[in-house]
Each structure stands twice: as structure tokens, then as C-alpha cells.
Amino acid sequence: MVQKDSNTSSKADYEDNALPDLPDLSWMDKTFQWGTKALPEKNGGGLTLDALNIGIYGDIPEHYPYRNRLPRGAVPVPSAGSIGGYYVQDKYEQWADSAPHLYEEGISRRWSTATDIPWDTGRGLSEDVEIAIAQVATELSNWGSVESEVVSAWLQNLSPGYHEVKYFLSTAVYDSARVEEGYRKRALLNGAGMMLESPGRMNRACLETYSGWSQTVLTMWLLRGSLMTAIVRYLSVYGPTEADRELAFRILPDIMRKSAYACDHIRFAISKKSELTDVFQGTLQLAEFAQLSDFNDPVLWEALAIIFGGGVQNMELGMGRVLELQQHFLSVYLGRCKQANVDRTAQVANGPWGAILAGIPITGHTSADEMRAMIEEMRERARDESAR
Amino acid sequence: MAAKASTAKRIKFPSVGWYEEVASITVADQQYQKYGRLNAIVAFKSEDSIIQVNFDVLNIHEIKEIEEDEMRDCDFIIELEADQWKDMLKDIKKNNGASLDWTLNTLDLKYDEPIHRNELEDGFKADLFFRYIPSLQVFFDNASQITTRF
């Protein structure tokens, strides 16, 4: 805005001294709603994002047309133009009612792997268990890295009109980075170091889901997130040291916030466009193939079996717990799918995952044909028993 | 962790008074505050006794007995048999906090059925259990500071 030159003033005071023109302060009334006053929460919650969504500022549009950084509720200026970004402009593509709350929760419940984990308790393991936990730590660290990169990449595409979602996703980037660095620290704690990376098919599925943010959420947080939940839960109870259990225990709530956003968002998207149900079912089917492919890599399962069994010599025992973990994963996954309104119960029960439900772990040690034969044998036995 | 002095008064579990006593210790607990905000109305069930507690940001209040059909209004329910509550609280007293076998997390995973649920099978609300589990564990660990009678 160009202000008038004070030298050209024609105003004067009572002694005829020239007075400068007042600056043009017309910008001061450029607000859509004057007098909006947000109130802090009671009980120590402070001034939260939810509390700001009042008056016109609580009006969250179905479509946000501005392809620049215009903050929701601010007055647009033509010179800002379009930077051609932020192409995810519809509410159904990103919104979740819980996002503002999840953001506040994530910020309030922040923690540090450096000082909140009793690292000195993480020592004294036998060499095989130490190597096994380093292997698991390497893979989890890898998954955390992928998550933080995927969310970061999508952030620049999501419209700033839904800032609550972007704020929450910023905490998710941090939470995922914490998984990455926390498990990197674990791998390097006692000398085993970083081991084999993940097979990578699921990593690629998360990184390369270009069809939409919702599809990425399905792949990364409904499916892979369920597996991460199951592994972290089992490590929080059956981890080999207090440090391992505490690290997993502290990561669990962070994962659950991402799951909450994911289920809430997918449910919202379907409530706005019911035809998305089929699209999302297809996305999950493809993602399940990628996940299944990773399941057939034995490294992670062998490492977990060594941890749960307490050593290589008790791997068989540990494999029993691996099966429990895989069943827990499916239970978490199907629960989340139902919560998100994309039920996958029948597809999972009748597809390759059915082996796990029937009591046969998928660990890459058995071929698909062998597995089918085992399932058929089990069914036959069950039929015989019921006939008797 | 240094042992904290327990109150001499013996308080019956389960009762509104017992939860109020633990709540008053917990809201002043620095670890509880450090774990951050939570928002959940939780019912704790031990056979016929159901006590509802409102974990409201950093406050814990509105502790009251409720009826079975009021559990649907709670975000989630934590249910154990009377003997399991007793053993858990004895372990907490003995170890100045739950040992690994008696944490809420372990019990929820190890038993055939999870110890938590939402009465209307609302997964979003049931999952609050996991979002807030470190805070809930501090709450029960603080039972080591009172003398509980069963």
C-alpha cells in the first residue's frame, strides 16, 4: 500500500505550521469479524485450537479455493497471487474433527528419548538377543523415517485452509522422527549397531501412494500402523530389558494419535462421498499385498522370535509369540478398518491372511502351497472332529 | 524412585473415597503433570462396583458411583475381577508401583480379553486407553501411597 508523502501536506496547526498527513490506516478495519474472543480451557488446558474455532473462525469450508498461504479467516490481497501449490483443497480429502485436539494432546504429551528412557537398564543381554533387538530396532527406525518423510512431503500439498490438520501432522512428523531416532539409539546402545533394512515393499507403498492423502493414510496408518502397534505393544510387555519396554511403552500413545486421526479422517471422507468406500477398499487390498510380501521376509520374525524366546535356542517358543503378535496385528487392523467404516473382515479371513487366523504364522518359512496344504489339513481335522 | 510415605488411614477399595484419595495425590504428582493432558471419562469396574472418574486435562474430578447402564456414557471401562484388582494393588503397594506383570498394559495384553473396552464398541473412544496409558499407570501407582483395605 502506498502512503502519501508527508512533504506534500496542506494541513497546518493553529500557528500555521505545516502538519504531516496521518498515515493511511485503512488496513485497520480489514477483518471479517471484529470482537472474537477465544477463552482458555479450564483445568490447566490453556488456550487451545478448539477454543479458537468460534464465530466465523469456526466455519470450516468444504472447499478452500486459495492456492497460496492465505490463513483461514484472513482477508485476501490480490498481490499474494497463486503459488500453484496446495492442490488438496477439499475438506473431505484431509479433515478429521479430532485433529485440533490431537494436536494439543501431541504437544502436551511430548517427551524425549534422550532423557525419558532409562538407557542404563538396556544392557547385559546375551549376544544373540542383543543382535535380534538391534535388527528389530533397525526396521522400526526405518519405518519411522519413512513415515516422517511421507507426511512431510504431503504437508506442502494440503491446503492451509485446514490448518488444524497441518498442525497435527507436524506433530506426527515429530512423533515418527522420534520412532526413527529412538530405535536408532537402541540399535547403537550396545555395539550391535544398525542391521538389515526392511524388505521395503511396504515402505514404497507408503512413499508412492500418489492417488491421494487419504489413500496414503490408509496404507501407512491403518495397515502398517496396525503392525507397528502390535510390535510396539509386544515389545512394551515382552521386550528384553526395561529400556526396551519403556521405549515401546512411550511410543505407543504417539502411534495411537496417528491411528485416531486416520480412522476419524477416513470415516469423515466416506461420510462426504460414499463412493470412496470402494476406492478405499481397493487401496487397502493393494496395500495388503505389499504388506504380505514383507511378511514373507523371515528376518523380522526370526529376530522377534529370538527376543520372545530369550535366545536362538528357544526360537520355536518365541515363534509361538510371533504368531500371537501377528494375530494381534490383524485384530488391531480389522478393528481400525471397522472404526474407519471400511470393513475388511471377510476379505482378510478369506485371503492369504486367513493362515494367521487359522494359527499358521506367515514368516517366509513356508511357501504359499505348503500353507494352503496346512490349512486344508486343519480344516479336514476340524471336519472329522465335528463328524465324530 | 524413593518410597513415598503412605497415609495411615485405611481406605476401602473399591469406593469413591479410595479413588478421591488417589486422585488428590495424582493431580499433585509431577510425573502425572509431565505426561500431559488427557480427556477421558473412565469407569472402573470390580464386580458390582462401578466408579466413574473424569480425567479432565490435568484435573481428576467428578468421581461417583454409577449404574451398569451408565457405562455407555463413559469413554472406556477398565474391568478386572475383585481378586485381580486386589492382587494388582498389593503388587503396587509392595513394589512402590506396578511390577511388569501387573501394569495395566501387561494385564490388557496377557488376559484372554482386554481389560478395557467401550460399552458401545466405539473404537475411537476405547483407544483412549492407549493414548493415556502412561498417565493411568501413574494414577494407580500412586495407590502405593495409601493404605488400602479390601
Instruction: Walk along chain B (150 residues) and give the pLDDT tens digit of each residue.
Output: 444 555 567 999 999 999 999 999 999 999 999 999 999 999 999 999 999 999 999 999 999 999 999 999 999 999 999 999 999 999 999 999 999 999 999 999 999 999 999 999 999 999 999 999 999 999 999 999 999 999
pLDDT at A56 over 50: yes
Any domain includes B2: no
In a domain, B27, yes or no: yes
In this prediction, residue A381 carries a pLDDT of 85
**Is residue B92 a part of any domain in this protein?**
yes
B123: nearest CA in chain A?
A339
Closest Cα in chain B, distance from residue A6 (Å)? 54
Residues facing residue B41 across a β-bridge:
B54
Domain that holds residue B128: 10-149
In a domain, B93, yes or no: yes
In order of their start, the domains of chain A are 91-343 (1.10.620.20), 351-359+367-388 (no CATH)
Contact A109 B35 (CB under 8 A): yes
With contact defined as beta carbons under 8 Å apart, do A335 and B121 qualify?
no
Instruction: Quote the pLDDT of residue B9.
Output: 78
Q: Report the length, in residues, of chain A.
A: 388
Identify whether B5 is part of a domain. Answer: no
Confidence of residue A17 (pLDDT cuts 50, 70, 90): confident
What is the mean predicted confidence (pLDDT) over A299-325? 97
Rounded Cα distance between A155 and A225, Å, is 19
Pairing relationship of beta strands B10-12 and B76-80 according to DSSP bridges: unpaired
Residue B1 in domain? no
Percent of chain A scoring above 90 in pLDDT: 80
Q: Count up the domains in chain B and report the number.
A: 1
Q: What is the CATH number of the domain that holds B70?
A: 3.30.1050.10
What is the distance in angstroms between the Cα of B6 and the nearest Cα belonging to chain A? 26
Q: Which residues of A touch B36 (CB under 8 A)?
A: 105, 108-110
Chain B residues with beta carbon closer than 8 angstroms to that of A98:
124
Query: Cβ distance A206 to A224 under 8 Å?
Result: yes
The percent of residues in chain A predicted with pLDDT above 70, rounded, is 98
Best probe of the A interface among B57, B75, B117, B118, by most A CBs < 10 A, is: B57
Is A253 near chain B, with CB under 8 Å? yes
Question: Are A105 and B37 a contacting pair at CB < 8 A?
Answer: yes
DSSP code at position B14: S
How far is residue B24's CA from residue A326's CA, in Å, rounded to a whole number? 41
A115 lies within 8 A of chain B by CB: no
A136, containing H or E segment: helix A127-155
What's the confidence (pLDDT) of residue A20? 80
